[in-house]
Structure 1
Amino acid sequence: MEIDTGNTAWLLLSSALVLLMTPGLALFYGGLNRSKGVLNMMMMSFSAIGLISVLWVIYGFSLAFGANDNASLNNVIGSFTQYLGTETDFIGDIWGETGIPVYVFLAFQMMFAIITVALISGAASDRLKFSGWLLFAFGWFTLVYVPVAHWVWGGGFIGAKIKALDFAGGTAVHINAGAAALGLVLVLGKRIGWPKESFKPHNVPFVMLGAGLLWFGWFGFNAGSELTVDSTTGAAFLNTQVATAAGVLGWIIVEWLRDGKPTLVGASSGAVAGLVAITPACGFIAPLPAVILGIIAGAVCAMAVSLKYKLGYDDSLDVVGVHFVAGWIGSLWIGLFATLQVNGAIEEVLGANEGLFYGGGVTQIGRQFAGSAIVTVYSFAIAVALAFIIKVTIGLRATSEAEVDGIDVAEHAESGYDLSPTTGGAFAQAGIAPPANAAQQKPVSEKVAG
C-alpha cells in the first residue's frame, strides 16, 4: 500500500498539536500552584517529554501496539520485539489501511503517552521529590500505561474482547491518570497546612493560557485519532469544540449559584472538564449529545473537586476531581449516545453496540463500565505499590523545610520569580563587581540630604 500523503500530513500536524498540550498543561498546573513551587510543578510536565519520548521508542510502542506471537498473551501485552528500538524491519511499513507510515503513528501515540504521565503530577504538587517523580513516572509508564494502551487500542482484551469503546483516551488516558493520581497522593500524604491554610493559584493568567493551549492542542488529540480525514474526523473536531464550550458554561453556572460569582479559574477548569469528557466519545456521538455531555461534565466536576475535603485526600490540583470524574462520565456517555450515523465502524469493525438512545440497549453501557473499572482498579493498585516502594527506598517526599520554604529552590536551585531587591546599581550595569565596602556607601541623595 502506498503512503496517503493527506492522512500522513494530518497525523503529523495532530502529533505536533498533542505535544503542545504538555507545555500547556505545565502552564495550567503552574498557574494553579503556589509561586514557590511553580517551577517544580512545570518541571514534572516538561521532564515527562524527555523521559517518555525515549522509553516509547525503546520499548513502549512495541509493547503497546505490537502483535504478540502468543495469541492468549496478546490480549494482555504486545510484542517484545516487533517495534523494538533497535529493530529496523518496519521502516517504510504502513499502519493498517490508513496509508500512514508506522513511524508517524508511533510519533502520534508517543504524544499521548507523554501527557498521560504528566497529568498525574498535578495531584502531588509542592511536596514530591523530583527524583521520586522520575522513578514513579518510569515505573507507572512501564507497568500501567503501556499495557493499558494495549488493552484499549492495541488489540488487547478491553477493546477486542470486552468491546469497550474509547475513541481518543477517556479510559486509557484520563481515568488511567486520575486513578494513579489518587493512589500516589494517598501514599505521599497531605501538604503541610492543608486544608487549613490557603493554597490559592498564584497566576490566574497562566491558568487561562494553559487551558487555551490545551483546548487548541486537543483538536489533534481527538480529531487526529480517526487516523484519516473523513466525516468522523469532522464530527470529532466539532464535538471537541462544543463540548468544551459547554463545559465552561456548566462549571461557571455552578460557581455562580454556589459562590455568587463566576471565576476565570473555574471557566478554565470547566474547559478542561469538557475536553476530558468528550475525549472517549468524540468520534461516536452527535453534536447535541456532546453539548449536553459538556454541560454535565463541567457542572459535576465543579462539585466533585470538593470531595477531597470531605474524604481527606490531598489532590492538589484536582486531577481526580476533573480527569478521573470527567473521564468516567465521557466513557459511560458512549453507552447512551453512540451512533452509527457518526461512526459506521462501531458495529462492523469494532464489534460494539450503538447507545441506549439509538436502540442498542444497555449492553454497551455495561461494556463501558467494565473497561473503565478494570483500568481504575489496576492503575490505582500499581500506583500505590510503586509509590510505597519508592517511599521506603529513595524517598518520595521532599523535606518539610523544602516544602515550607519552597520546593523550587530545594529541588532545582532556582525560583520562578526573582523577588530579591536589586543591588549593584551602576556596578551591575557595567558588568563589574561592586567594591567590598559598597554596602556601607551611602547613595548620593543621602549624602546631600545628610
Structure 2
Amino acid sequence: MATKTLASWATNLEASSLPSSVKQAAVRSLYNYIGCAIGGSNHAAVTKAHDALSPFFGKATSTLYGHEGGLKADAQHAALLNGIASHVHDYDDTHLATIIHPTGPVASALLAYAEYKGGVSGPNLLCALTAGIEASCKIGLAVWPEHYDIGWHITSSTGGVGAAVAVGRLMHLSEEQMAHAIGIAAVQVVGLREMFGSDTKSFHPGRAAQSGLLAALLAEKGYTSSPQALEAKRGWANVIAGGGMPKLQKYLAELGEKWEIEANAFKPFPCGIVCHPAIDACIQLHHQMAEKGTSAEAIERVEARVHPLVIELTSKCTPKDGLEAKFSVFHGAAVGLLYGKAGPAQYADKVVQDETVIAVRDKVNATADEGLAADETYLTLYFSDGKKLEMHVEHAVGSLEVPMRDEQLTEKFVDQAALVLGENAKKASEAAWTIGEADDVAEILRSL
C-alpha cells in the first residue's frame, strides 16, 4: 500500500491547499538551492562533468546556473549538472531528522523540466517541489538510520523518488502513472558514503535528479513497474535497509498532516552539518579573542567535546583539499578561530593547504561525548600564558532552534554567488526570491 499511498497523495496535492507556512518553507528551500547551485557552478567537479558530457548534450532547453543564462543543456543533463553544483560545496539544506539534503535532487530535476516545458507558474512549481521533498523525507524516515548505517548516501537514495514525484506532479500524471514513476526511480538507487570527500559525493544528488526525471518521463509514456515498488519483500525499502519491514506506511500516513519541509534547515557553513556546533563555537571565541587582543596563533591547544557522529563523519585530521576539508571538524574549527567565518572561501584548496591554518588545525582535539545532542558542543581554548576560554553551544546556528533568518539566507546567497557572478549576485538573489510568484518560472531561470 505504501507506493499507492504516496502516488495518490502526490497526484491529488493542490497548490491552493498548501498551508502558508509550507509555502514559505518551499520558497526558502528553493531560494537556498538556487544560491548553492550558482555558488558551486564553477567548481572543478562540475567543470569536469560538463566537459566529459557536453559532446552528448541534446537540444539546449534548460539553464545551467551560474552563467546568467549563457549556458544551457538538455533537461536531463541540466538536472545532473545543476544537481552536482548544488551539493559540491556541501552548503545545501538538511532535513535534520534524517540528514537528507532534500531540495538538490528534487529541484534540479523539477526546474530543468519546468524550463523545458514552459508556462509553469510559481505556485505550481512550489506545489511540485513540496510533493517531492515530502516524498524523499517520508521514505527516508522509514529506513533511517539502518539504511545510512549500511553505507548508503540517503540524500540520493531517496532523492530519485522525490524527483520523480515532483516532476510527475508537474506533469499531472495519473495515480497509476505516478506509482510507476516511483517504481522506476526506486530501482535507480545511487549513493555510497564511501565517496564522501571526493567528486562523486556531489554526483549523487545530480544523478538522483536525472534518474527521477527519467522515471517520470518513462511513466508518462506508459512504462510500467511494480505497484509495490517501495514496500514489497524485495522492494526498495527492504533491500536498501538491510531487511525487516521498515515503517513506510506509518510515515506515509502523515502526508499532508505533518510537513517535513517545515523541518528543513539551512546551513550557515559549507561542510558536514555535524561540524557546525564546533565551528559556531570557534567563531564566537574568535570574536572574544579579538575583543581581548588575542590571536589564534597564541592558542596552545583546543579541546572539543562533540557528538559521536562528528568523529564518525568528519575526522579527517589532514585534509588535502577543500572537498576533504568539508569532512574535517579540525579544519572547520581552525578557520573559525582564525577568520571568524567559515564560508566557501575558507574551504578553498589554498586555505586548506595554508601553513597558518594547518598550525591551528593541528592543535585541535575532538572527543566524542554520547551525552551531547547532535547540534551541541563544549569547546575550550588553552593559551600559552595559562589562560583559557570556554564556549558551550547548546544549539548551533542553522538548527531548528536557532534557524537562519531570511536576511542571513540572503547574505549566504550573495556571498557564494558573488564568487561566480560578481556584482550581479544581488540581482540573482532578488530574482530567486520571487520565483514562487512568477507566471512562468522559465523567465527567471533563464537569467540565473
TM-score, scaled to structure 1: 0.32
- The structure with more radius of gyration: 1
Q: Which structure's residues are more often helix, by fraction?
A: 1
Pick the structure with more strand per residue.
2
* TM-score, with length taken from structure 2: 0.32
